[in-house]
Amino acid sequence: MRTTQMADDFVLPTLLFAALGGMTWAVRGSSGYGASAGCLFAGVTWGTAWWFVARDPGPVQSRRYASGWIILALAIGIGLSGNRGWMQWPAFFDGHLQTNYAKGESIPISQAYGFLWLFIAGVPWAGIGACLLAWCASGPRSSLKQWIGRLAFAFGGALIARFCIVHFPQFFLPLYSSHAAQYADLHANPNLRRLINDCTAAITHFGFYLGCLGFEAIRRDRKNVVLITTVGLLNGIGWAALQNWSWAKRFWPDAHFNFWRCWESSGGITIGIAYGVAFYLVNRPAGGVEESNPVPHPGNERPNLERFAVYFGLLFGLGLSVKSGLKGWANIYLGNEDYWNGVLWNVIGPLLLLGTIVLLVRIRQQPLPKNYQGDIFPNAYRLLWLVLITQNILAQLVTGPLKEWNEVAFNLYYLLLFIISGVIVQHLQSLKRRQPLSSR
């Protein structure tokens, strides 16, 4: 029984999050996506999966992190984390700090800087999503004063971190003290300008992450601290260990496959594993052996707000994902990505606004009573499948052209991950159906 419980609470959710990460994070860097758009694509997928796995099919929720706001929280948190680059750090693993790549100019640097900066980048890239997920925890409702404190710590941490790297660059930027002249002449050393931007953004996000963590530590919310710390540290360690796949060319010197997308995919797998481990540590059902003082999780206190959270999160996340995916497909097969981006915004932008208005009107016209004793989301299973199918179709659309074997290999890889995800989701749904009626 204990082995079965371990599989259902740890192994299968972790495998599901990892499989979704392997697909979505590889797509993150594909045509039409990149930066925040690509990370939002991954975030809404992970958010929906977490919400589905965590929620019970009834009015009472046994897990602390099962709110419908989690979908939007991970979409926004991971999406914002993607608003920065990492292209300057992989060369560190080859012993080079690029100063002017076009002219082949660089400075010798220790590989240790590569491990350090991939760790610094990896912690908040996954961790900011965990911070916003922690804000969705059930329990006593946070007061206005607590929310002000939470936001002040988060953005205050980001501002302090940015202030430090801008005014004391010698303590942050690689080899700044010994090569100040090159850093001062960014026209002749354009890669240093990019390095400054990437490092500044990474440190700023790291400060946001530490600010969120610090607030939860001060208020002694142990589970929020464990959630945020676990996701951040595991992904930071994982990304540093992967080394942007810079080692691949030494293992396969004659290979011509897409090493960069392999790194992207494995980077998404480490994020998925981090969330899977965190899910097991902090989100097992209340009242189990891990709960010395189980906190009762309220049922449907505000069912209409919960409905809005889920459907708006899906509308927002999938709508923007579809826009980026169609733009990427057009870029591959039609060309002129900027033109199609404008066309798609003119169509999808108004549709998102109209969809939000329709959602609000529908909830207002068909409200559920407070403390509703039924299942708010009897269609949760179908909602997750909507996300899985939509995102995998988009993944296939932006992976091409099909005449290139490197692209076809990833098409098949995404199909395999889709099958793995689907089998796990089907099993977890069967477990939910077998839950005793008293828990619904």
- Indicate whether 291 pLDDT > 60: no
Burial (0-12, 13-18, 19+ Cβ within 10 Å), 35: middle
- Indicate whether 289 pLDDT > 50: no
CA 287 from centroid of its chain's CA atoms: 29
- Indicate whether 3 pLDDT > 80: no
% of residues, the chain, pLDDT over 90: 80
Q: Taking all residues of the chain, what is their mean pLDDT, rounded to a whole number?
A: 93
* 300 compared with 203, residue with greater pLDDT: 203
The Cα 264–Cα 24 span in angstroms is: 9
- pLDDT per residue as tens digits for the range 176-198: 999 999 999 999 999 999 999 99
- pLDDT per residue as tens digits for the range 84-116: 888 899 999 999 999 999 999 999 999 999 999
- pLDDT per residue as tens digits for the range 354-372: 999 999 999 999 999 988 8
What pLDDT shows up at residue 290?
42
Cβ 202 vs Cβ 120: under 8 Å: yes
- Indicate whether 59 pLDDT > 60: yes
Q: Which residue has the tokens 């909602």?
A: 383
What pLDDT shows up at residue 320?
97
How many alpha carbons fall within 13 Å on the CB side of residue 320?
21
- The total domain count for the chain is 1
Cβ 74 vs Cβ 132: under 8 Å: yes
pLDDT band (50, 70, 90) for residue 293 = very low
SS (H, E, C) 203-224: HHHHHHHHHHHHHHHHCCCHHH
Q: How far are the Cα atoms of 154, 232, 246 from residue 266, in angstroms, in the given order? A: 29, 16, 13
- Indicate whether 388 pLDDT > 80: yes
pLDDT band (50, 70, 90) for residue 299 = low
What is the H or E stretch that residue 197 is in? Answer: helix 190-218
Residue/partner pairs of 188-193 with CB below 8 Å, 24 or more apart? 188/100, 189/99, 189/100, 189/105, 190/100, 190/101, 190/102, 191/88, 191/98, 191/99, 191/100, 191/101, 192/99
Token pair listed for 399: 């992976």
The Cα 335–Cα 312 span in angstroms is: 32
The Cα 312–Cα 355 span in angstroms is: 9
The Cα 69–Cα 74 span in angstroms is: 9
What pLDDT shows up at residue 207?
98
Q: Which of 23, 122, 24 lies closest to 81 in space, CA to CA?
A: 122
pLDDT band (50, 70, 90) for residue 296 = very low
Residue 153's contacts (CB-CB under 8 Å, 6 or more residues apart) are 211, 212, 214, 215
Token pair listed for 135: 């804000």
- Indicate whether 426 pLDDT > 50: yes
What pLDDT shows up at residue 249?
86
Q: What is the pTM of this model?
A: 0.94
Give the count of beta carbons closer than 10 Å to the beta carbon of residue 249. 12
Give the count of beta carbons closer than 10 Å to the beta carbon of residue 416. 12
The Cα 326–Cα 341 span in angstroms is: 9
Helical H segments across 283-379, by residue range: 303-333, 337-365
Domain ranges, residue 272: 2-439
Name the β-bridge partners of 179.
Answer: none
The Cα 236–Cα 272 span in angstroms is: 13
% of residues, the chain, pLDDT over 70: 95
- Indicate whether 431 pLDDT > 70: yes
325: three-class secondary structure by DSSP: helix
Lowest mean pLDDT among 167-176, 346-355, 363-372: 363-372
